[in-house]
Structures are given as structure tokens and as C-alpha cells.
Amino acid sequence: MKINKLKSKAFSTKAIHAGQEPDPSTGAVMTPITLSSTYAQKAPGKHKGYEYSRVSNPTRKALEHCISALEEGSFSFACASGVAASSLIFEILKPGDLLVAEEDLYGGSLRILTKILKPRGISIHLMDLSKEDNIFKIPKKAKMIWLESPTNPLMKLIDIKKVSAVAKKNKSLLVVDNTFMSPFFQKPLLLGADIVLHSATKYLSGHSDIVAGVITTHCPDLAESLAFWSKSLGPVLSPFDSYLLLRSLKTLAIRMKAHEQNALELALFLEKQKRVKKVLYPGLKSHPQHQLALKQMSGFGGMISFYLKGGKKEVFECLSRFQIFTLAESLGGVESLVEHPASMTHAASPHPPSESLIRISTGIEDVKDLKSDFLQALKSKKPFKRQENKAR
């Protein structure tokens, strides 16, 4: 269905129909996977809108229309991974430019900043933007401001509207990585961001079987530049993965509701466990920015982090005991995952998080089974007590 006809429709309707009409030549209801790399022309330059699949492909185009509808933006780009999407956006920066970024970011984004952009002569300034005072200290000359909210893995929230007001005043571009929330729970473009991106590998795919990234903007000039870099550099998503992602989006709304329902129940449950020191989940009243969560998001998502009492040994012992949760990197799939940021996703970070921090991606299994998995994993074999030094 055409985007303009769907404008007034609800999220789940858009997720199922946007960019997708029955195939005019066969009536096929599902968008065909167009594998062709090239397209016939009647005369040079006279074609049906497609010339070469690096530039544009019908399956990828359908996906890009659907993403634009969900983020309430105008132009989208589907890329071969989340980091490919980030790299395309970073093409905006030239040597001498200043990039201001939230300090608690996806490890791979920090790696691009410190190991690729900085050596190219782009200045990087990391700040804790969850502190409101700091938002007003963002340097005026920042060309771009880059953030995630909630942050990964500390689950801090950043007031996107406040940052966007500062960005607009200073003519800085605001980029929001919306991977943790998905457009179902948070729409950064409506909060004033210029560009939103996702690792579509996570919630948008939801089944841990695609690596993909998407970018959306409402600004025609930015879209023109992104389209130019995309066609010139070629980090595009394949037709098959575009199809899989389009298929995944159809269930995004029901999946996100189920992730959130389980996560909220699990977070409350974890707060009551003796071996758990602190739970970080924006849906909990104990989260210091719970009020901002209520204002800026329409739900709290499926990601939870928590501190376990004890050190690395106790944490590793617990991590290896899970039976339903899988110990693995990544997030956003229907299956529950657990991981150790300090040694896995954030090992390369300039400030790795505490050894006692555990991050979970709550899946959509029955929450009773998730809780009982936790109960057995938290049960230490020995009573939990620091060992006395017997030699003394």
C-alpha cells in the first residue's frame, strides 16, 4: 500500500502493508525477491525506475518504504549491517569536524569513533548526555551529535527533545541509534532528531537470522547525500535479506509488546532476588529516569541490565548455568539471551563496564520458564560468602 494512503493508519497496519502491494504482473500478495542485478531499458535512460541493483532494487525499495512509514520519516536506506549504516552516516563528517557522542554507546560504534574517525582527523568528544546539565555544555561547533537512548549497556536515558533543541540552535545534526527501542516504542524523528538508524539485526529482524542496518531521515538534502554515498560505496542490503526483514516487520508490534511484558515482569522479579545488587530497566520505578521513560517512549522494551553481587568468578559461574537463556552477544530476537558486557560486547570500549554487570535480552518465551531459569542460575553451589583466608 502507498505510504500516503497509510499515513493515518496505526503502527501494526503500516508494518504489514507499507511499501507492499500485490505484484502487478502476477497478483502475488507477498513482495517478490528480485534477484536481478540489472534491468532492461527501452532506450538509453528509459526504464521502469530501476537500472542496477546497487543503486536501487524493488525488494529493498519495498523495505525502505516500510521503514520510512514506521519511523514517520520520508527517506530510508537499507544497509548490509548496522555498522554499514553508521559508516554511511559518518561520511557526512570531514577532517576538522567535531563529533559529540554519548559516552555509553554500542561497542562497535565506539570502535569506529576512536579507531577510524579519530585517525582521519575528526575530533571526538564523549559526554554523559544523560545528565541534563551536560546537554547545555555540548560544544557549539559540533557538526554531529550521536546518541543511543536507552544507552547500551547501562540503560541510561537521554532526553532527545532537549538535545535536539540544542542541536537546532547550534546547527548540529542529531543522529539517534534507535536499536534498543525500535520505532514501536520510540520515534526519534518526531522528537527532533535529523537521522535515525537501527541495527536491524536486532528487534527489526527479531529472529537472529539477518545482519542488516537501516537509516531514516526526513531531510531531502541529507537523503540525497546518503543516496550518493550508498550508490558510490555500495553497502546495500541484499534482496533476500531485504525480503526477510520485510517479513519480520509484519510481527514487530506483537513481538515488542511480548518482549516488554516479559521484561517488566522479569525486572520486578530480579529486583527481589538476594544475589542481585541492582536492576537497570527504564520500566522500573527505581530507574532514576523513569519519568523521562514515560514521556519519551511509549514502552520500555526488552533490554535489562543488572549487577550481581560478587566478582567476575561468581558472575561467570552464574552465566554458564543458564539453560533457556543462551549466553551470546546480540539482542532483540524472540529467544532470550544473556551476556557479559565487560568481556563480550564492550570488551574494546575505552571504559568497559563493571565486571559484575550482566545484560539480558528478554525473549518471548513463557515468562514462568524464564524466571525458573534465573532461579536455578542464581543458586550458587557454595553459599555466597567471601572465602575467609584460612592461613591467618
Ligand X SMILES: *Cc1c(COP(=O)(O)O)cnc(C)c1O
Tell me which residues touch ligand X (CB under 6 A).
81-83, 106, 108-109, 148, 152, 177, 179, 199, 201-202, 211, 213
| Nearest CB to ligand X, comparing residues 108 and 192 | 108
| Nearest CB to ligand X, comparing residues 156 and 202 | 202
Q: Are strands 142-148 and 326-327 parallel, antiparallel or unpaired?
A: unpaired
Q: Half-sphere exposure (CA, 13 Å, Cβ side) for 300?
A: 27
Cβ partners under 8 Å of residue 294, min gap 6: none
Q: Are strands 98-102 and 142-148 parallel, antiparallel or unpaired?
A: parallel
Nearest to 130 by CA among 153, 155, 111, 110: 155
As beta bridge partners, residue 127 has: 102
**Residue 384: what are its φ and ψ, rounded to 5°?**
-75, 105
CB 69, min distance to ligand X, A: 21
CB 81, min distance to ligand X, A: 3
Burial of 142 (0-12, 13-18, 19+ CB in 10 A): buried
Nearest to 275 by CA among 155, 380, 154, 388: 380
Cis amide linkage into residue 153, ω under 30° from 0: yes
CB 261, min distance to ligand X, A: 22
| Nearest CB to ligand X, comparing residues 164 and 361 | 361
Residue nearest ligand X (C-beta atom): 82
| Nearest CB to ligand X, comparing residues 102 and 177 | 177
CB 134, min distance to ligand X, A: 20
C-alpha pair distances (Å), 364 with each of 248, 300, 325, 332, 386: 15, 15, 11, 10, 36
| Nearest CB to ligand X, comparing residues 65 and 359 | 359
CB 329, min distance to ligand X, A: 8
| Nearest CB to ligand X, comparing residues 213 and 302 | 213
Report the C-alpha gap between 173 and 23 in whole angstroms: 38
CB 384, min distance to ligand X, A: 32
| Nearest CB to ligand X, comparing residues 129 and 377 | 129
| Nearest CB to ligand X, comparing residues 86 and 262 | 86
CB 72, min distance to ligand X, A: 20
CB 390, min distance to ligand X, A: 45
Q: Which three cell numbers stand for residue 370?
A: 524464564
As beta bridge partners, residue 305 has: 280, 359
Work out the number of other CB atoms within 10 angstroms of the CB of residue 26: 8
Q: Which three cell numbers stand for residue 154?
A: 547501562
Burial of 9 (0-12, 13-18, 19+ CB in 10 A): middle
Work out the number of other CB atoms within 10 angstroms of the CB of residue 255: 24
Cβ partners under 8 Å of residue 46, min gap 6: none
Q: Which three cell numbers stand for residue 121?
A: 582527523
Report the largest interatomic distance among the alpha carbons of the chain, rounded to a whole angstrom. 91
DSSP-derived secondary structure for 297-319: -SS--SEEEEEESS-HHHHHHHH
Catalytic positions, please?
Answer: 54, 106, 177, 202
